[in-house]
């Protein structure tokens, strides 16, 4: 009984921490005083960017099965849905910025922007587009699971690092503290999941299968 209560409390704590890390940055951005001087497309673009960054935190946790109380099938389904959500957020982000200021958005997309952070965002965007294409064509491409995993993980790492650098260099509606905590969490979750899934687990499996093991 005590064991159960303790694991229940830990589970609740894990979910609460995840929710706080994801929701707080978006909530802070949604109450920024800067919003008063911005038009609707710009407000939506900013919030979509913050929401996309928040969703990035869930992806490695779902992929590695770190979230307590979820079955593997549920995690896989959620991972795909959250991925689609990130793609939608980035579309709103870029689209809203384009409507707000076409020359600034075009400069960023053409890599001639005066702002040093836009190139990181654009790199992450292309990696995201490549991921979406890979997901859509997965069956047709006939990729072996190992090749798929490498491609997907390399692109995911580019998305994560690009997005985090992009967000940290921007002075905008996001709060410094909640943004930094979220970015740190995204980096840590991605690093732990990639090392666990692609390095430690295959190594352990190989060792277990090796003759004379045990």
Partner 1 sequence: MQITTHSRRSLLLGAGAAAGVLAVGSTGLMRPASASTGFEPTQTMRGGSNNYRPGAPFVERLGEGFWMSGAVRRAGDGAPLAGVRIQIWAATTLGGEREPANHGSVLTAEDGSYRLEMPQIVPNFGQPHAHLAYDDGAFQTVFLRPVMPSASDTSLSADFVLAPA
Q: Catalog residues that contact partner 1 under the rule CB under 8 A.
A: 34, 36-39, 42, 97, 100-101, 103-104, 107, 112-115, 117-118, 169-172
Pick between residue 8 and residue 39 the one whose CB is nearest to partner 1.
39
Query: What is the nearest approach in angstroms of partner 1 to the Cβ of residue 210?
Result: 52
Query: What is the nearest approach in angstroms of partner 1 to the Cβ of residue 151?
Result: 30
Pick between residue 42 and residue 58 the one whose CB is nearest to partner 1.
42
Pick between residue 147 and residue 177 the one whose CB is nearest to partner 1.
177
Pick between residue 34 and residue 161 the one whose CB is nearest to partner 1.
34
DSSP states of the chain as a string?
Answer: -HHHHHHHHHHHHHHHHHHHHHHHHHHHHHT-GGGGGS-HHHHHHHHHHHHHHHHHHHHHHHHHT-STT--HHHHHHHHHHHHHHHHHHHHHHHHHHHHH-HHHHHHHHTT--SSTTHHHHHHHHHHHHHHHHHHHTHHHHT--HHHHHHHHHHHHHHHHHHHHHHHHH--SSS-HHHHHHHHHHHHHHHHHHHHIIIIIHHHHHHHHHSTT--
């Amino acid at each position: 009984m005590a064991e159960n209560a303790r694991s229940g409390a830990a589970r609740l704590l894990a979910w609460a921490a995840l929710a706080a890390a994801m929701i707080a940055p978006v909530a802070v951005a949604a109450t920024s005083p800067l919003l008063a001087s911005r038009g609707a497309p710009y407000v939506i673009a900013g919030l979509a960017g913050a929401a996309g960054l928040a969703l990035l935190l869930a992806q490695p946790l779902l992929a590695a099965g770190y979230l307590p109380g979820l079955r593997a099938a549920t995690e896989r389904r959620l991972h795909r849905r959250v991925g689609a959500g990130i793609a939608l957020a980035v579309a709103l982000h870029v689209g809203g910025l384009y409507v707000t200021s076409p020359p600034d958005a075009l400069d960023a997309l053409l890599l001639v922007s005066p702002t040093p952070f836009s190139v990181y965002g654009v790199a992450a965007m292309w990696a995201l587009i490549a991921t979406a294409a890979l997901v859509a064509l997965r069956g047709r491409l006939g990729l072996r699971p190992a090749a798929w995993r490498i491609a997907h993980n390399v692109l995911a790492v580019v998305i994560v690092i690009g997005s985090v650098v992009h967000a940290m260099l921007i002075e905008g509606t996001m709060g410094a503290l909640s943004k930094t905590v979220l970015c740190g969490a995204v980096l840590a979750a991605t690093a732990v999941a990639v090392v666990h899934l692609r390095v430690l687990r295959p190594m352990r499996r190989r060792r277990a299968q090796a003759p004379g093991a045990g």
